[in-house]
Amino acid sequence: MAYLVTLLLNTVWAPEHGGATTAYDLLSQPIIPAFFIGLPSLIVAARLTRSTEVAAEALGAAPGTEAQRTKALLGACVVPFLAGVGWLALLLVLTRVNPPHPNELWFGTVNNLYVWGALLSLGVVSCLGGGLLGVLVGRWLHFRGASTVALVAVVGVCLTSQIPGMLTSEAAGFRNWVPWSMWHWGTNSDGLPFEGVPAWSQALLAGNPATYLLYLIALCALACGGAIWHDRTARTPRLRLLNVGLVVAVVALFLVTALTGIDGMITSGPLQ
C-alpha cells in the first residue's frame, strides 16, 4: 500500500501551477512500483525458492521435479505483475482526473510510443522481473543473504549506469543494458546542474524505449530459462536451444535500443 499512498500524494495533491497540476517528472513515476513492488518481490521470491527446497530435503521427497517446482514459483510472479498493472491503471486514471502541466513530458507532448515504452518497461515489467530474478537467485545462489546482495547489486548498478544518460553523447544509449534505466529527467531546481540545461527543465534521454520494453521481456524469459536450467534433468536440447535463442534476442534488442531512437539528451524549455 505504500506505493499507492505515494502515488496519491504525488498526483492528486500535487501543487497547482498555472491552473494545472504541476506533478513534475510524470515519466519518472514508474520508480514507485519498481521500488515498492519489484525489489521486495526479488527478496520474497528468492527466499521462497530456497525455503521450498529446504522443505523438500527435510521430507526426503518432494512433489514433482525441481523444474516443475521452479515453473510453479515462476508462475507465482504473476502476482507482482498484476500489482504493476494496477499501478499503471491507477496512474492513468488519476492523471485523467487531475491533468499534468501542459508542458509536462507526457501523452500529447511526447511520442505516445515513447511514453508507453517507459511506463510499461520501468513500471509493469519491473514488477514481474523482480520476482523472476528472485527465483533465479534462489536457484543458483545458496549463501546466506544472497537475495539481499542481489538486491543491493541491482540497485547500485542501475543507479551508477545512468550517469552517461545525463550526457549529450550518442554513446549515452548504451546505458540501457540495465534492467531499470531512466528515460526522463528533470532538474526541479533553481540551479544549473549541467551546463546548457536550463533550470526547471526536463529532458528525454538517449535510446529507444519501445525496443527496451522488448529487451526487458526477453530478459525476463531468460531468467525463467536460467532458473529451470538449474535442474540437470531438465537440460534438454530444446531448453538449451531456447536459452541460446533468448541470449541472442537479448543482445540484438539491446543493440537496437542503444543505437536507435533518440540520439542524445533532448531538453525542454523551463516550465512556466
Encode pLDDT of 60-85 as tens digits: 555 678 899 999 999 999 999 999 99
pLDDT over 50 (residue 207): yes
SS (H, E, C) 89-141: HHHHHHHHHCCCCCCCCCECCECHHHHHHHHHHHHHHHHHHHHHHHHHHHHHC
DSSP state of 236: -
pLDDT over 70 (residue 7): no
Residue 114 lies in a domain: yes
- Residue-averaged pLDDT of the chain: 82
Residue 157 lies in a domain: yes
pTM for the predicted model, two decimal places: 0.85
- Can you give the pLDDT at residue 20? 40
Residue 20 lies in a domain: no
Residue 177 lies in a domain: yes
pLDDT over 60 (residue 143): yes
Helices (H), the chain: 2-11, 31-33, 39-59, 66-76, 78-97, 112-119, 126-140, 146-161, 209-229, 237-259
What is the pLDDT confidence band of residue 13, given thresholds at 50, 70 and 90?
very low
Residue 21 lies in a domain: no
| CA 55 to the chain's CA centroid | 32
Residue 103 near residue 26 (C-beta atoms within 8 A): no
Residue 44 lies in a domain: yes
Q: How many domains does the chain have?
A: 1
Residue 162 near residue 181 (C-beta atoms within 8 A): yes
Residue 272 lies in a domain: no
What is the pLDDT confidence band of residue 3, given thresholds at 50, 70 and 90?
very low
Residue 220 lies in a domain: yes
Q: Give the residue numbers spanning the domain of 78.
A: 2-15+26-267
pLDDT over 50 (residue 271): no
